[in-house]
Structure 1
Amino acid sequence: MRKGCRQVDRDSNGRQERRRLQIPGSSAETSGAENTLTKGNGDASRHPLASVVRLAAALICLGLAMLAGGGQAFAHAALVESVPADGAVLQVRPAIVHLRFNEPVSPLVVRLIDARGGIREDLSVMMHDHSIGIAIPENLPSGSHILSYRVTSADGHPVAGSMIFSIGHISTSADKPAETSERPIHSLLWLARLVFYLGAFVGAGGALFVTWVAPSLRLLLVGRVLRGFLAAGIAAAIVSIGLQGLDALGRPFVDFPSGAVWLAGLATAFGTSAILASTAFALAFASLLARGGSRRALSLAALAGVGLAFAASGHASAATPQWLMRPVMFLHAVAVAYWVGALLPLAVVVRRFPSQAQPVIRRFSGVAVAAVAVLTATGLMLAYVQVEAPKNLFDTDYGLVLLAKLILVAALLALASVNRVLLTPGLEVSRDKSRHRLGRTIAIEIGLAALVLMVVGLWRFTPPPRALETSRAAAASPVSLHIHMPSIMAGLMVSPGHVGSSQVRIALSSPASRPLDAKGVTLILSRPADGIEPIERSARKVGGNAWQVDNLVLPLAGPWQIRLEVLISDFDKTSLEGTLVVRP
């Protein structure tokens, strides 16, 4: 056949058009057919997918602006208790400082700044369940010491803080280290996480669609685009490990090439997820290049890898009971990948293969109904575990992000229903008109799905209400203090132990821990450094060796000097002194 021969054909509206004859399956045929993706009504910029690209760029800028202008980001684990308490004044050096969190943590960096300004980092750290114990060196000088710590929680997020304890007396120069801005790292983490999501759901999910739902169609351009998403996803997973290490160690971006940073990132739970996801992306990439039955096996393995990656880390997979939450997270991620991954290939099928669009959509919908049911059920279960109470939807940053996600997902479901009930059946009656409408709605679905992924990325920086509730419960728990002298011991319990009105219960005992009866107890609190003169309250006896002070107002947080005046008999009076640390 001569290269210049032409034939007359008719388009979908019955109009004659002249085009060159092409060898079936040739690259020229493919490029000519797939160029319809950019041809709209004579202007590429008017195509719905072009609008999606512009929308995605605008949404990325919006997400970065939200992170740059937002307030402090919170980790997902919380310190429940420290022994000794923050701000405590001790007579002798504590052998070990215990830090108890609301979930298991692993230490990353522990640093002690002593009263003379010396920095000690070679501290022995022990882990046990939700607590870590930090051995304190023996040769500490008198004064105030700062113990700074940075740990990673079970969901892979770093937790940083400092506590002060004093030996003998308080040093006026002991100030906690100033917090450094982490917003640039957080912005990069969010952007890398977004590309990671696109690789997982668009790339791996799209590969499943191409190999299982539409294996007979020559979706060459789609294959190239999906391979691009998968390659970007692998790069994002690798970069995220380094960024995770920077965030975990609290290092600036200039330390990105440091080996310690990358090792710290790999040591977090996200390091495992990144390795699993990269493997899944590579399998999906291979499925788009393979031939025969291996294509399906590779894409199915890739989908399973995506589910495992999301089940391996994150605040949802770290919630209890993990034997239930991890499989739920696996199913949720797989369902999302099936649904979101189908959108881009479907848009191409509707535009390029209108005669085959309906059977392809029918095959996709047969599983999509079950996938949406799984997605909805698992999503509600995850939300119930994380949010715990309806009020937390409106009172917490996590809840507001969840509300935004629910609104967007509801819009997606509504569009999917319109496509299934109204537009897809119309392909048989008015193919060209329904094809354009269906293509537009799928393009809108792609934009909404991208927005959902951008919103979900913000969860990396918001603690779930279940973690906040633990912190609130710890803040409301009583503060205890034990004071002992050679002849008497006293245990104090201050409820709730934070600024405001509190109740103080006092239990007296002998050095042998036997109840000690007394004739009177007076409680005296003072803060000489802040110019607060002694606050004196008489305790009332409530039975046996127990005494109580009601409605004691503590106006300031931090350490208070406390003195107990105990009248043991008409001729015997003794005093006990200690430091009580009041929470904010």
Structure 2
Amino acid sequence: MNVANRRPIARLLAIAGLLVTVVALLIAPAGPASAHAVLVSSSPIASAVVSNAPAEVVLTFSESVRKVPGKIRVIAPDGSRADRGEPTFEGTVVTVPVDPAGARGTYLVSYRVISADSHPVSGAFTYSVGAPSTPPVDSGDDSRADPVVGNAVKVAKYAGYVGLLLLVGSALVLAALWPRRLPRRGPARLAWAGLGLLAVSTVANLLLQVPYTAGGGVLDVTGQGLSDVLGSAFGAAHLVRLGLLAAAAFLLRPLMAGPVERSDLVILGVLGAAALVTWPLAGHPAASPAPAVSVVVDAVHLGGMAVWLGGLVLLAVFLLPRADERELGAILPIWSRWAALAVSVLLLAGTVQALIEVATPRALVDTFYGRLVLGKIALFVLVIAVAAYSRQLVRRRTAAGRPTSMRRAVWAELAITAVVLGLSAVLVQTTPARTAGADVAGSTPRYFSTTLSSPNYSLQIELDPAERGNNTVHFYAYTKDNRPQPVVEWRATAALPAAGIEPIQVPLLPLTDNHATGEINFPAAGEWQLRITVRTSDIDQATVTATVPIR
């Protein structure tokens, strides 16, 4: 087999390898949280033991949330529903009325809501009234995320990115760089393919948003669900995008046939810029701590990507193989300057995005989102190196004639950036690092809880946050049959023998007959000995001891 015959096969194998890599990135697990708001606090606190049944459960999220009908439940210890009436939504706070005469034992709170950036937030936690019991199961919870839907959303977003760069690259090159002697049929077909792919992706995102937010399979698209999606900011952004694409199609047709008036190009540019804004308005940036800055930066970042990669595709597929030496001598220096500007925009906008979404250096390594950002940066550095090599070839004019070296460098840029696009598609579906660490329902509780037994009573201990510094402790006393045990006197000390710290008296304040609270300051980490003496009558008292790990 000669070299000419082997070349198409090699390209097909390279493309197949890229597709496998991208698909692997798209279906890679994003950890337990796939949403972008998190539950930052609750009342009652997750896993807490309260003396009396509350009249309401309050959930506080990191950003404003919207209701998914019927997806917030409070399950009583016997498996029945303890919530009463519809929950109320006020920005970041959701209030769920519950039965104040509920039974003693452990309750399960399960929820699914829609965050401000259009992604579903789901989770569950427990609290106990009186004393813990076997946690109930929410047998009516049918809102679990379907992995097929989640992966379909990522594929649809990736397809949208590909359509955008094909459309922008084709339009840009035809408007400013295309030699007059060459036919426009190839780039025109690529532009229409990009427009079609972008439109299909937008419609697919709208339809998939219904089961994605409410839970269910790919075909679980209801009229009410679709109406809710279309009435949201996410739906409005996608409808606007479709309208802008339809308007742009009328101006693209004459551009595909030949040079057009400057005024038409200006209008086409305005439509393109407006369409770019619809991406951040339907995602993370709209719910960031600085939404105005994030929306602009994300749109600029997306535009820089489309110009750079779209131009590379046209350069690799059409200009390098077809343009002659004189034409390439005029085209490549211009393209080199455009590419350098687009890359500079990408770097600046990406830096601002990272500062907003990652927030802290530690989050870069401690969160899945941060590690994806690091991976994207590493690949971006690699592709910048390849791009610099390409620019060097342009300056040396070795791309003249048969630009084999230039063509290889461009294909290398495209190969690496295809993977970067895959990482981007995963990033937009992943909880930002700025909120990932705040999820009280999806992370290990930052407090200590235990139950101790004595001949006279059982004692429930809750210590928060079980770290060096100030801590709050709660004591609950119960009889052997799990009823509140009246206490005459409470005494408690804390010591760290391994560090030579003698017992420290803990001031306690009785809140009810069987409940007392106090403040403890732990000056050092270690295995602290907490010693509690409870007197239940004039002659009956007992002392229990707990070992508390302090971080």
TM-score by length of 2: 0.75
Contact 1:200/1:306, CA 8 A, preserved across alignment: no
Tell me by how many angstroms 1:171 deviates. 6.0
Task: Tell me whether 470-479 or 332-341 shows the greater mean CA deviation.
Answer: 470-479
Alpha-carbon separation, structure 2, partners of 1:121 and 1:53? 54
Q: Letter of the aligned partner of 2:239 in structure 1?
A: I
**Pairs aligned (count):** 491
Alpha-carbon separation, structure 2, partners of 1:506 and 1:95? 21
Q: Would the alpha carbon gap of residues 140 and 393 (structure 1) be closer, same or farther in structure 2, given more than 3 Å must change?
A: closer
Q: Which residue of 2 aligns with 1:352?
A: 322
Q: Letter of the aligned partner of 1:380 in structure 2?
A: T
Tell me by how many angstroms 1:160 deviates. 0.5
- Aligned with residue 156 of structure 1, among 110, 114, 118: 118
Percent sequence identity over aligned pairs = 22
Q: Letter of the aligned partner of 2:424 in structure 1?
A: V
Tell me by how many angstroms 1:505 deviates. 5.1
- Aligned with residue 280 of structure 2, among 306, 311, 316: 311
Tell me by how many angstroms 1:304 deviates. 0.6
Q: Would the alpha carbon gap of residues 447 and 397 (structure 1) be closer, same or farther in structure 2, given more than 3 Å must change?
A: same
Q: Deviations over 1:68-89 (max 9, x none)?
A: xx75343222211111223455
Contact 1:523/1:564, CA 8 A, preserved across alignment: yes
Alpha-carbon separation, structure 2, partners of 1:145 and 1:278? 46
* Alignment pair present for 1:251 and 2:216: yes
Task: Tell me whether 179-188 or 410-419 shows the greater mean CA deviation.
Answer: 179-188
Q: Which has the larger radius of gyration?
A: 1
Q: Deviations over 1:404-433 (max 9, x none)?
A: 211222222222222222246426xx7223
* Alignment pair present for 1:325 and 2:325: no
- Aligned with residue 446 of structure 1, among 405, 410, 414: 414
Alpha-carbon separation, structure 1, partners of 2:189 and 2:201? 18
Tell me by how many angstroms 1:399 deviates. 2.1
Q: Which residue of 1 aligns with 2:438?
A: 470
Contact 1:204/1:341, CA 8 A, preserved across alignment: yes
Aligned pairs (5 A) from 1:88-103: 88=48, 93-103=53-63
Q: Letter of the aligned partner of 1:197 in structure 2?
A: Y
Which consecutive unaligned segments of at least 5 residues does structure 2 have?
Answer: 450-460, 476-486, 494-502, 511-516, 543-548
Name the SS for the 1:214 alignment partner.
Answer: coil
Q: Would the alpha carbon gap of residues 42 and 503 (structure 1) be closer, same or farther in structure 2, given more than 3 Å must change?
A: closer
Q: Letter of the aligned partner of 1:58 in structure 2?
A: V
Tell me by how many angstroms 1:162 deviates. 2.4
- Aligned with residue 80 of structure 1, among 28, 40, 55: 40
- Aligned with residue 174 of structure 2, among 210, 227, 230: 210
Name the SS for the 1:253 alignment partner.
Answer: coil
* Alignment pair present for 1:235 and 2:195: no
Aligned pairs (5 A) from 1:272-283: 272-283=236-247
- Aligned with residue 459 of structure 1, among 421, 427, 433: 427
* Alignment pair present for 1:201 and 2:170: no
Q: Letter of the aligned partner of 1:207 in structure 2?
A: A
- Aligned with residue 354 of structure 2, among 366, 371, 383: 383
Q: Deviations over 1:95-145 (max 9, x none)?
A: 332101122222223234455545589842322332111233678677654
Alpha-carbon separation, structure 1, partners of 2:320 and 2:51? 78
Q: Which residue of 1 aligns with 2:482?
A: none
RMSD: 4.5
* Alignment pair present for 1:410 and 2:381: yes
Contact 1:207/1:299, CA 8 A, preserved across alignment: no
Contact 2:39/2:440, CA 8 A, preserved across alignment: no
Tell me by how many angstroms 1:150 deviates. 0.6
Name the SS for the 1:146 alignment partner.
Answer: strand
Q: Would the alpha carbon gap of residues 241 and 152 (structure 1) be closer, same or farther in structure 2, given more than 3 Å must change?
A: same
Contact 2:170/2:190, CA 8 A, preserved across alignment: no
Alpha-carbon separation, structure 2, partners of 1:540 and 1:377? 56
Q: Letter of the aligned partner of 2:8 in structure 1?
A: S
TM-score by length of 1: 0.71
Q: Letter of the aligned partner of 1:403 in structure 2?
A: L
Q: Letter of the aligned partner of 1:130 in structure 2?
A: T
Contact 1:506/1:548, CA 8 A, preserved across alignment: no
* Alignment pair present for 1:338 and 2:307: yes
- Aligned with residue 226 of structure 2, among 257, 262, 265: 262
Q: Letter of the aligned partner of 1:289 in structure 2?
A: R
Tell me by how many angstroms 1:376 deviates. 0.8
Q: Deviations over 1:129-188 (max 9, x none)?
A: 321112336786776543321112222221102244556676646135689463222221
